[in-house]
């Protein structure tokens, strides 16, 4: 059994309630921190842990905290629960099963950053999870872990849950802050970064649910203990949302460094490909990251086994590698049309573009349109190069990374599966549709 | 579509809830309550946001009506046109497509006699496609109001519709209650 930090006790009945969570050692990290650690010492532990942001970007969490402008008295800590990256469903699972773990992490982060009001921004579709969180927050208040003078420490904190209303872009942290202020989710130009100018113009740190949920374990066991788990600069464990054509879809906690082949084929994890079919391709880190054909996801171009880690998945750059991203692991068997799968992704990005930057607003629409005609048998060979060209001009030319996220799937699908696009054009139909 | 009695103000119970929500944000930042309040407004206004109810929300939050319109038109969960009593939202993004979302959508189109985006003549059902609902491991999935329905098969999708038809399902209930 793999190391369990985030999903530890997840099967225990009643875990979402305060009593069970507390009986299993919950809130001991908050007691420890408030009693024995200064806020800066908490930050120090997180720095030592090597924990990276689990939302997708993989930026070191402790370093992000270190940027916060402490000259400003009013500071905010915000949880990014806008989980919307296709293929990713770990936060939804974690928060609904173990809401107090997230709340405990929120208290630790808020204390370290000196926040007095903190917000959990959750996507509006997950209103039922919002209600689970609000119930757990009420329990935390009742038991003295939120509110005035927490456990006699002199530290006070209020915690609120705020719903979004259907916008993938609000997972981008500055768009999230705009949305939390009651505005359209248009990303802000950076710099200034939220650590300097964030919510209501005040210094703010935004972290993903999974990142925050790792904080209690780090506080209880120490940053060094966390850093001892994993491989290379990929410290700790990671939740992987596994979906698609596998026998056992679900959320798995893995120690970073697990071989991809073991993750796909072992009965402990995905349990192999459905119906005994052949593996065709994997999108390893949410829809945004480059798709890889079976041979490149299982082994690097150098022939070494590919591991579930930030470094190993990125081995070979975008030519032959990909990214760990959010850990949204989408598996496709040999019945899958790569063009149609890409079309669904591109339709998604077109739908979710906020419209602020022309390359993304227009480019995502053109990409969807061209892919639609190729899939429907009306494409030309020139269309394939046109897609590559548009993707290249969207990438890197937008305020936020949605442009990159829309471009990478297109460029990688054509890089690795060009002949399948060409076949659509030659046959004037989808070779795989029924 | 039948004429519905749309509201232009909240009752006292709802107002109390709205005021509790406004207090979650710092003084002078009451605009932050806009998304939660619009969710409530939509649920109480038969599932859509009329300009009258948006103007009322603007008054409640002491902001300009345009600040409400521009936000309401940005977020996909807000309906700016009337919808049916029960809005069926089927996810169509990659992971759900891989597991047969198109068959589910086609099934509902055939059963309801409408296309995606349309409402049945009796005003009971609206069929929509939505983008990723963060439930890809249980694909294909759909949402009705705040309920998720997962691991769909054609049989399960059909049984759900039978149930909604039998109970005159209304999907737009206040999500906070």
pLDDT single digits (tens) A204-218: 999 999 999 999 999
Instruction: For residue B94, give the nearest of A117, A166, A344 by CB distance.
Output: A344
Task: Report how many Cβ contacts below 8 Å link chain A to chain B.
Answer: 149
CA distance B110 to B47: 24
Contact A166 B70 (CB under 8 A): no
The number of domains in chain B is: 2
Using CA atoms, how far residue A162 sits from A123, A126, A316, B25, in Å, is 8, 11, 40, 10
Per-residue pLDDT, averaged over A324-330, amounts to 97
Query: What chain B residue is nearest to A249 in terms of C-alpha separation?
Result: B137
Contact B94 A341 (CB under 8 A): yes
Mutate to test the interface with B, among A97, A120, A125, A134 (most CBs of B within 10 A): A125
Query: What chain B residue is nearest to A170 in terms of C-alpha separation?
Result: B75
With cut-offs at 50, 70 and 90, classify the pLDDT of residue B5. low
State the DSSP string of A126-174.
GHHHHHHHHHHHHHHHHTTSSBSSGGGSS--BEEEEEE--S-GGGGSHH
The reply to whether B93 and B52 lie within a common domain is: no
With cut-offs at 50, 70 and 90, classify the pLDDT of residue A281. very high
Mutate to test the interface with A, among B27, B131, B141, B173 (most CBs of A within 10 A): B131
Query: What chain B residue is nearest to A341 in terms of C-alpha separation?
Result: B94
Residue B86: per-residue pLDDT:
98
Q: What rounded mean pLDDT belongs to chain A?
A: 97
Joined tokens for residue B84: 């049916």
* Percent of chain A predicted with pLDDT > 90: 98
Boundaries of every domain in chain A: 18-227, 231-333, 338-427
Task: Collect all residues of chain A within an 8 Å Cβ-Cβ radius of residue B77.
Answer: 124-125, 165-166
Smallest CA–CA distance, residue B58 to chain A, in Å, is 12
Per-residue pLDDT, averaged over A232-254, amounts to 97
Residue A112 has pLDDT above 90, yes or no: yes
Task: Collect all residues of chain A within an 8 Å Cβ-Cβ radius of residue B172.
Answer: none
Task: Collect all residues of chain A within an 8 Å Cβ-Cβ radius of residue B132.
Answer: 84-87, 168, 287, 348
Place of tokens 């850093």: A227
Using CA atoms, how far residue A402 sits from A355, A409, A419, in Å, is 11, 12, 27
Residue B96 inside a domain? The answer is: yes
Residue B150 inside a domain? The answer is: yes
Tens of pLDDT along A174-212? 999 999 999 999 999 999 999 999 999 999 999 999 999
Residue A69 has pLDDT above 60, yes or no: yes
Phi-psi region of A80 (alpha: psi -120 to 50; beta: other; left: phi over 0): beta
Residue A180 is inside which H or E element, if any? Answer: helix A173-180
Query: What CATH homologous superfamily does A18-227 map to?
Result: NADH-ubiquinone oxidoreductase 51kDa subunit (3.40.50.11540)
Q: Could you tell me whether strands A328-333 and A307-308 are parallel, antiparallel, or unpaired per DSSP bridges?
A: unpaired
The reply to whether B96 and B58 lie within a common domain is: no
The reply to whether B57 and B110 lie within a common domain is: no
With cut-offs at 50, 70 and 90, classify the pLDDT of residue B6. confident
Residue B39 inside a domain? The answer is: yes
With cut-offs at 50, 70 and 90, classify the pLDDT of residue B8. confident
In sequence order, the 6+-apart residues with CB closer than 8 A to the CB of A256 are A229, A230, A231, A234, A235, A236, A237, A238, A307, A308, A309, A310
Using CA atoms, how far residue A404 sits from A217, A287, A364, A393, A400, in Å, is 34, 11, 11, 10, 8
Per-residue pLDDT, averaged over A23-52, amounts to 98
Smallest CA–CA distance, residue B117 to chain A, in Å, is 15
Whether residue A36 is preceded by a cis peptide bond, meaning omega within 30 degrees of 0, is: no
The reply to whether B90 and B146 lie within a common domain is: yes
CA distance A375 to B88: 27
Task: Collect all residues of chain B within an 8 Å Cβ-Cβ radius of residue A244.
Answer: 95, 98-99, 136
The reply to whether B18 and B45 lie within a common domain is: yes
Residue B4 inside a domain? The answer is: no
Residue B126: strand, helix, or coil: strand
Instruction: For residue A166, give the nearest of B61, B75, B98 by CB distance.
Output: B75
Residue A105 has pLDDT above 60, yes or no: yes
Domain boundary among B25, B42, B72: B72
Residue B2: per-residue pLDDT:
42
A42 close to A36: Cβ distance less than 8 angstroms: no
The reply to whether B110 and B44 lie within a common domain is: no
CA distance A131 to A137: 10
CATH architecture of A338-427: Up-down Bundle (1.20)
Joined tokens for residue B137: 């491991």
Using CA atoms, how far residue B66 sits from A163, A183, A299, A322, B44, in Å, is 21, 11, 54, 43, 21
| Residue A43 DSSP code | H
Residue A212: per-residue pLDDT:
98
Contact B35 A179 (CB under 8 A): yes
CA distance A281 to A304: 18
End-to-end CA distance of chain A: 41
Whether residue A307 is preceded by a cis peptide bond, meaning omega within 30 degrees of 0, is: no
Buried b (16+ CB within 10 A) or exposed e, A168-206: bbbbbbbbbbbbbebbbbbbbeeeebbbbbbbbebbbbb
Residue A60: strand, helix, or coil: strand
Joined tokens for residue A375: 């899939």
Using CA atoms, how far residue A106 sits from A133, A169, A193, A195, A432, in Å, is 12, 23, 21, 17, 48
Query: What chain B residue is nearest to A74 in terms of C-alpha separation?
Result: B26
With cut-offs at 50, 70 and 90, classify the pLDDT of residue A433. confident
Smallest CA–CA distance, residue B23 to chain A, in Å, is 10
The reply to whether B96 and B151 lie within a common domain is: yes
With cut-offs at 50, 70 and 90, classify the pLDDT of residue A54. very high
Tens of pLDDT along A293-304? 999 999 999 999
Joined tokens for residue A14: 């009643």
Tens of pLDDT along B93-142? 999 999 999 999 999 999 999 999 999 999 999 999 999 999 999 999 99
With cut-offs at 50, 70 and 90, classify the pLDDT of residue A313. very high
Residue A434: per-residue pLDDT:
58
Tens of pLDDT along B54-72? 999 999 999 999 999 999 9
CB contact A334 to B (< 8 Å): no
Task: Collect all residues of chain A within an 8 Å Cβ-Cβ radius of residue B80.
Answer: none
In sequence order, the 6+-apart residues with CB closer than 8 A to the CB of B118 are B126, B127
Assigned fold of A231-333 = Ubiquitin-like (UB roll) (3.10.20)
Tens of pLDDT along A385-414? 999 999 999 999 999 999 999 999 999 999
Residue B2 inside a domain? The answer is: no
CA distance A264 to A364: 32
Residue B44 inside a domain? The answer is: yes
Phi-psi region of A275 (alpha: psi -120 to 50; beta: other; left: phi over 0): left
Per-residue pLDDT, averaged over A255-261, amounts to 97
Residue A96 has pLDDT above 70, yes or no: yes
Residue B153 inside a domain? The answer is: yes
Selected residues 303-332 of chain A with any CB under 8 Å from a CB in chain B:
328, 330, 332
Nearest of B100, B137, B98 to residue A269 by alpha carbon:
B137
CA distance A93 to A312: 26
Q: What is the pTM of this model?
A: 0.97
CB contact A433 to B (< 8 Å): no
Residue A1 has pLDDT above 80, yes or no: no
Residue A24: strand, helix, or coil: coil
The reply to whether B56 and B100 lie within a common domain is: no
Instruction: For residue A341, give the nearest of B98, B147, B175 by CB distance.
Output: B98
End-to-end CA distance of chain B: 28
Residue B103: strand, helix, or coil: helix
Smallest CA–CA distance, residue A368 to chain B, in Å, is 13
Residue B3: per-residue pLDDT:
46
Residue A3 has pLDDT above 80, yes or no: no
CA distance A46 to A223: 6
Mutate to test the interface with A, among B94, B97, B129, B145 (most CBs of A within 10 A): B94
ipTM of the prediction? 0.97
Task: Collect all residues of chain A within an 8 Å Cβ-Cβ radius of residue B23.
Answer: none
Q: For residue B115, what are the domain limits?
A: 86-167
Task: Collect all residues of chain A within an 8 Å Cβ-Cβ radius of residue B148.
Answer: 128
The reply to whether B67 and B90 lie within a common domain is: no
* Number of Cβ within a 10 Å radius of residue A272: 18
Q: What rounded mean pLDDT belongs to chain B?
A: 96
The reply to whether B90 and B161 lie within a common domain is: yes
Tens of pLDDT along B73-82? 999 999 999 9
A17 close to A139: Cβ distance less than 8 angstroms: yes
Residue B4: per-residue pLDDT:
57
Residue B172 inside a domain? The answer is: no
Joined tokens for residue A387: 């897609």
């Amino acid at each position: 059994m793999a190391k369990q930090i985030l999903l530890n006790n997840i099967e225990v009945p009643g875990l979402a309630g305060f009593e069970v969570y507390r009986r299993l050692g919950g809130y001991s990290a908050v007691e420890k921190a408030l009693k024995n650690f200064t806020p800066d010492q908490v930050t120090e532990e997180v720095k030592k842990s090597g924990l990276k942001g689990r939302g997708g970007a993989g930026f070191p969490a402790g370093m992000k905290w270190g940027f916060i402008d402490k000259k400003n008295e009013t500071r905010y800590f915000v949880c990014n629960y806008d989980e919307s990256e296709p293929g990713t469903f770990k936060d939804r699972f974690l928060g609904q099963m173990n809401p107090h773990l997230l709340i405990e992490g929120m208290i630790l982060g808020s204390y370290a950053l000196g926040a007095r009001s903190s917000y959990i921004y959750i996507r509006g579709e997950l209103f039922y999870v919002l209600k689970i969180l609000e119930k757990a927050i009420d329990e935390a208040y009742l038991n003295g872990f939120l509110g005035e003078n927490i456990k006699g420490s002199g530290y006070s904190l209020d915690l609120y849950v705020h719903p979004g209303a259907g916008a993938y872009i609000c997972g981008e942290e500055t768009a999230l802050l705009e949305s939390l202020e009651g505005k359209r989710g248009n990303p802000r130009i950076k710099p200034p970064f939220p650590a300097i100018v964030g919510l209501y113009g005040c210094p703010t740190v935004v972290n993903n649910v999974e990142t925050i949920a790792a904080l209690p374990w780090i506080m209880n066991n120490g940053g060094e203990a966390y850093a001892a788990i994993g491989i290379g600069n990929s410290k700790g464990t990671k939740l992987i949302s596994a979906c698609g054509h596998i026998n056992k879809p679900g959320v798995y906690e893995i120690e970073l460094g697990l071989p991809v082949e073991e993750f796909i084929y072992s009965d402990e994890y995905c349990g192999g490909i459905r119906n005994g079919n052949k593996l065709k391709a994997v999108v390893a880190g949410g829809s945004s990251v480059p798709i890889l054909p079976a041979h490149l996801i299982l082994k690097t171009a150098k022939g070494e086994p590919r591991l579930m880690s930030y470094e190993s998945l990125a081995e070979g750059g975008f030519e032959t590698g990909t990214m760990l991203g959010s850990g949204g692991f989408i598996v496709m068997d040999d019945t899958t049309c790569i063009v149609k799968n890409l079309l669904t992704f591109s339709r998604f990005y077109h739908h979710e573009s906020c419209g602020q930057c022309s390359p993304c607003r227009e480019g995502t629409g053109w990409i969807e349109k061209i892919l639609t005609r190729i899939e429907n048998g009306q494409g030309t060979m020139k269309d394939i190069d046109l897609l590559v060209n548009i993707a290249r001009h969207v990438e890197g030319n937008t305020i936020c990374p949605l442009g990159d996220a829309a471009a990478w799937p297109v460029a990688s699908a054509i890089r690795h599966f060009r002949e399948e696009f060409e076949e659509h054009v030659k046959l004037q139909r989808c070779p795989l549709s029924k | 579509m039948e004429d519905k009695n749309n509201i232009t103000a909240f009752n006292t119970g709802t107002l109390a809830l709205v005021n509790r929500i406004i207090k979650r944000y710092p003084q002078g930042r009451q605009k932050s309550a806009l998304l939660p309040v619009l969710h409530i407004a939509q649920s109480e206004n038969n599932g859509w946001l009329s300009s009258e109810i948006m103007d009322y929300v603007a008054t409640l939050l002491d902001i300009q009506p345009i600040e409400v319109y521009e936000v309401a038109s940005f977020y996909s969960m807000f309906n700016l046109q009337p919808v049916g009593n029960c809005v069926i939202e089927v996810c169509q993004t990659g992971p759900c497509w891989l597991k047969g979302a198109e068959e589910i959508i086609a099934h509902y189109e055939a059963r309801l006699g409408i296309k995606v985006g349309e409402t049945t003549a009796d005003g009971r059902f609206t069929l929509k496609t939505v983008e990723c609902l963060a439930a890809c491991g249980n694909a294909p999935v759909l949402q009705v109001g705040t309920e998720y329905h997962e691991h769909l098969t054609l049989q399960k999708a059909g049984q759900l519709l039978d149930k909604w038809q039998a109970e005159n399902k209304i999907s737009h209930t206040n999500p906070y209650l």
